C-alpha cells in the first residue's frame, strides 16, 4: 500500500529488490528525495509531517560538513523524541534521536567529511583544481 503511494505520489520505488540481488531500492538518494517533500512523504506514510521535518533536519545536521553546536543538536533531538514518545519509535529512530549528539561530539571531524559522498566531492575538486 505505501509502496504504491510512494510510486504514484512521489515517483519513488521503495523497498523493492534490485536486479542481481544487490540489496533493495532503499538508499540515500531515495531518502533525500522523500525528505525533500515532507508533505508528500507524510501523506504516503501516514506519519505526522512535523516528525518528518524534524527527522530530516537531524539527518542533514549529522551528515553536514560543518561543526555542530552539540547542545543545540541534543536539545533538538530530545524535543523531537518528546513530541513522539507516545508513538512506537523504531530502534533506528531511537538511536538517531538519542545518540546523535554523542556520536557527533566524539568524532574529531564532522561526520559529513568521513562518508563516501565527501570523498567523491574531494576527488572531483582535485580533478578540477579547486581547493578544498
Paired strand residues for 24: 17
The residue from 31, 46, 61 where one domain ends is 46
Looking at the structure, tell me whether residues 40 and 86 fall in a common domain. Answer: no
Is the pLDDT at 118 greater than 70? The verdict is no
79 and 29: one domain?
no
Q: Give the total number of structural domains in the chain.
A: 2
Domain match, 41 and 77 both = no
41 and 54 share one domain: no
- Domain extent, residue 94, equals 48-132
Residue whose C-alpha is closest to residue 101's, from 58, 131, 130: 58
Mean pLDDT of 8-24: 79
Q: Is the pLDDT of residue 81 over 60?
A: yes
- Same domain? 107 vs 67: yes
36 & 10 share domain: yes
Per-residue pLDDT tens digits for 18-66: 777 777 777 777 888 889 999 999 999 888 899 999 999 999 998 888 8
Same domain, 53 and 114: yes
Residue matched to cell numbers 533531538: 77
Closest CA to 88 of 27, 46, 26, 38: 46
Is there a single domain that holds both residue 61 and residue 111? yes
What's the pLDDT at 88?
Answer: 75
Which backbone phi and psi does 24 adopt, to 5 degrees?
-135, 180
Same structural domain, 40 and 73:
no
Amino acid at each position: 500500500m505505501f509502496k504504491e503511494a510512494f510510486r504514484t505520489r512521489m515517483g519513488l520505488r521503495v523497498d523493492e529488490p534490485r536486479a542481481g540481488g544487490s540489496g533493495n531500492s532503499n538508499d540515500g538518494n531515495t531518502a533525500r528525495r522523500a525528505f525533500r517533500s515532507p508533505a508528500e512523504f507524510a501523506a504516503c506514510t501516514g506519519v505526522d509531517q512535523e516528525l518528518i521535518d524534524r527527522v530530516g533536519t537531524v539527518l542533514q545536521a549529522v551528515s553536514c560538513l560543518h561543526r555542530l553546536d552539540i547542545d543545540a543538536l541534543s536539545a533538538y533531538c530530545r524535543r523531537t523524541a518528546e513530541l513522539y514518545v507516545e508513538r512506537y519509535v523504531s530502534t533506528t529512530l531511537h538511536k538517531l534521536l538519542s545518540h546523535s549528539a554523542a556520536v557527533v561530539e566524539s568524532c574529531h571531524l564532522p561526520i559529513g567529511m568521513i562518508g563516501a559522498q565527501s570523498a567523491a566531492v574531494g576527488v572531483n575538486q582535485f580533478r578540477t583544481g579547486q581547493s578544498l
